[in-house]
C-alpha cells in the first residue's frame, strides 16, 4: 500500500491568544494528512496548544500596532521561512498576520493563500485611522487568493463596503471561527458546582446573574450594558452583573465608568480566564451589545451551555443568535433593557431559550462541522493547478 504524501498547511495568527481560534483544528488537520506549521508571536497559549496538538510552531515577530520597521523585519522573516517550508496551503487570520502573511505569500508566488476574515476593525473607527485600517483590510483581501469570512452577514457587509470581492469570498457552513467544542461546553446541571462558583465570586446563590465575557472597551457595549443594569437593579434587587475579561487601553471605557464598575456592590469584575466554562455554569444570561463583531463566539458557547443570549442586531451577531429562539437580537439600549427584564421575570423563558440554543449549536456550530468544511475546502484547493 502506497502511503499518501502529507501536505503542508500553514496557519497564522498575530498573538498567542489566537490559540483559541485553532483549538482542536490543528489535531484534526494533522489526522487528515497535513503537517501543520503555526506562525504566531510567542506566548504560553500558542506554545501549549502546538505541543499538545502536534504542530510545528514558528515564533514570529508580529506586533499588533503599526510599526514600519518592525513590520518590514517581520515580512522578511516570513518570506525566508515560507520559502523554506514551501506550504501547499496557507490560512492566515487576524489583521497584522493576515496582511503580512498574504503579502509574503504573494511575493513568493503561492496560489493557495486563504485569509480568514474575523471582523472589520475599521467599522467603529473615524477619520484618518479609519481610512488607514480600511485600506489595510482591503489590501489583505486583495492579496489573498481566497477569503473566508466567519459569518454570512460579515461576508455581505464586507462586500457592500468595497473591502471584499464576492468572487473570492466563501463562508464555511453557517459560520464561526472554529465552531464550539459541544462536549466541553455542555452544562453539567450540577447545582452544587454552580453555587460553589458563585460563592467564590461573592454572588448570592439565588441571584439572577447577567454576564458579559470579553474585552472591556466601548466597542463591546460595556457602557450600555451597565447603564441598562443600573436601571434594572432598582426594580430587581436580586440581579448581579458579572464581567469577565481584560481591560483594554484602545477604545477604553472612561476612568469614571471603570471605577464605578469596580465599586458597585452588585457588579463583579473578573480578569481573563483560561478556562471559561465555570463562568458559563454560573450565569443565567449572556449579553453582547457589541458595535462590531465578526461572529460572536461567546454567544454560541453560551448557547451550547444551555444559556439564553442577547446580542446587538449587527453583522456577525445576527448569525450567532436565532432571534426569539436561542435568545434575542436588539436594536437599542432601551430594547436591551426590556429583553433582559423579560428573562428576569420568566424562568420558563430562560429554560426554553437555553434548551433551544443548545439544539441550535449542535445542529450548526459543532467544531467537527466547521473542521470538515475547512478540510473539504483545502482538498478542493489542492486539486487545482
Query: How would DSSP label each residue in 98-132?
Result: HHHHHHHHHHHT-S-EEEEE---GGGG--HHHHHH
Closest CA to 284 of 354, 377, 186: 354
Beta-ladder partners of 11: 38, 91
Closest CA to 213 of 316, 124, 282, 121: 282
In the chain, domain spans: 7-179+367-382, 191-364
Distance, in Å, from the CA atom of 251 to the CA atom of 132, rounded to the nearest integer, reads 17
Which strand ranges, in their side-by-side order, compose the sheet holding 146-149? 56-59, 34-40, 7-12, 89-93, 113-117, 146-149
Looking up cell 465608568 gives 257
Domain 191-364: give its CATH code. Answer: 3.40.50.2000
Closest CA to 212 of 225, 228, 229: 225
CA distances from 157 to 82, 151, 166, 300, 320 (A): 32, 10, 11, 21, 16
Name every residue whose Cβ is closer than 8 Å to that of residue 81 and which is 6 or more positions away in sequence.
Answer: 39, 58, 60
* Phi, psi for residue 365 in degrees, rounded to 5: -130, 15
State residue 385's pLDDT score.
59
Query: From first to last of its 385 residues, what are the pLDDT tens digits of the chain?
Result: 445 689 999 999 999 989 989 999 999 999 999 999 999 999 999 999 999 999 999 999 999 888 889 999 999 999 999 999 999 999 999 889 999 999 999 999 999 999 999 999 888 888 998 999 899 999 999 999 999 999 999 999 999 999 999 999 999 999 998 999 999 999 887 788 889 999 999 999 999 999 999 989 899 999 999 999 999 999 999 999 999 998 888 778 899 999 999 999 999 999 888 889 999 999 999 999 999 999 999 999 999 999 999 999 999 999 999 999 999 999 999 999 999 999 999 999 999 999 999 999 999 999 999 999 999 999 999 987 5
Distance, in Å, from the CA atom of 282 to the CA atom of 307, rounded to the nearest integer, reads 10
Give the containing element (helix H, strand E) for 39: strand 34-40
Closest CA to 214 of 11, 20, 42, 12: 20
Query: In this structure, are residues 9 and 29 in contact, taking their beta carbons and an 8 Å threshold?
Result: yes
CA 125-128-131 angle, to 5 degrees, is 70
State residue 3's pLDDT score.
53
Domain 7-179+367-382: give its CATH code. Answer: 3.40.50.2000
State residue 1's pLDDT score.
43
Distance, in Å, from the CA atom of 61 to the CA atom of 246, rounded to the nearest integer, reads 23
pTM of the predicted protein model: 0.90
Looking up cell 452583573 gives 241
CA distances from 284 to 230, 278, 310, 382 (A): 17, 12, 12, 46
Amino acid at each position: 500500500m502506497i502511503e499518501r504524501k502529507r501536505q503542508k498547511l500553514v496557519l497564522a495568527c498575530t498573538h498567542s491568544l489566537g490559540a483559541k481560534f485553532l483549538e482542536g483544528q490543528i489535531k484534526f488537520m494533522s489526522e487528515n494528512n497535513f503537517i501543520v506549521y503555526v506562525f504566531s508571536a510567542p506566548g504560553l497559549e500558542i506554545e501549549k496548544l502546538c505541543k499538545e496538538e502536534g504542530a510545528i510552531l514558528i515564533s514570529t515577530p508580529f506586533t499588533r500596532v503599526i510599526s514600519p520597521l518592525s513590520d518590514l523585519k517581520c515580512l522578511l522573516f516570513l518570506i525566508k521561512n515560507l520559502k523554506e517550508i514551501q506550504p501547499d496551503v496557507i490560512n492566515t487570520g487576524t489583521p497584522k498576520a493576515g496582511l503580512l502573511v498574504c503579502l509574503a505569500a504573494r511575493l513568493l508566488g503561492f496560489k493557495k493563500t486563504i485569509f480568514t476574515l474575523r471582523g472589520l476593525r475599521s467599522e467603529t473607527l473615524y477619520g484618518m485611522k479609519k481610512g488607514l485600517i480600511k485600506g489595510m483590510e482591503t489590501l489583505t483581501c486583495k492579496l489573498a487568493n481566497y477569503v473566508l469570512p466567519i459569518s454570512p452577514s460579515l461576508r455581505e457587509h464586507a462586500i457592500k463596503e468595497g473591502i471584499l470581492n464576492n468572487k473570492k469570498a466563501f463562508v464555511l457552513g453557517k459560520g464561526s471561527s472554529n465552531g464550539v467544542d459541544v462536549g466541553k461546553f455542555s452544562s453539567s446541571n450540577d447545582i452544587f458546582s454552580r453555587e460553589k462558583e458563585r460563592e467564590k465570586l461573592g454572588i448570592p446563590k439565588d441571584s439572577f446573574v447577567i454576564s458579559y465575557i470579553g474585552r472591556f472597551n466601548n466597542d463591546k457595549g460595556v457602557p450600555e450594558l451597565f447603564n441598562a443594569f443600573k436601571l434594572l437593579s432598582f426594580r430587581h434587587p436580586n440581579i448581579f452583573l458579572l464581567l469577565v475579561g481584560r481591560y483594554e487601553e484602545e477604545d477604553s471605557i472612561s476612568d469614571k465608568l471603570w471605577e464605578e464598575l469596580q465599586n458597585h456592590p452588585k457588579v463583579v469584575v473578573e480578569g481573563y480566564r483560561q478556562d471559561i466554562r465555570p463562568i458559563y455554569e454560573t450565569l443565567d444570561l449572556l449579553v453582547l451589545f457589541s458595535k462590531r463583531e465578526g461572529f460572536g463566539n461567546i454567544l454560541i458557547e453560551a448557547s451550547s451551555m444551555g444559556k439564553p443570549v442577547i446580542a446587538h442586531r449587527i453583522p456577525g451577531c445576527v448569525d450567532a443568535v436565532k432571534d426569539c429562539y436561542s435568545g434575542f437580537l436588539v436594536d437599542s439600549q432601551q430594547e436591551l433593557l426590556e429583553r433582559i427584564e423579560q428573562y428576569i421575570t420568566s424562568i420558563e423563558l430562560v429554560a426554553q431559550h437555553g434548551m433551544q440554543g443548545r439544539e441550535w449549536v449542535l445542529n450548526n456550530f459543532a467544531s467537527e462541522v466547521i473542521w470538515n468544511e475547512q478540510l473539504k475546502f483545502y482538498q478542493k484547493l489542492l486539486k487545482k493547478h
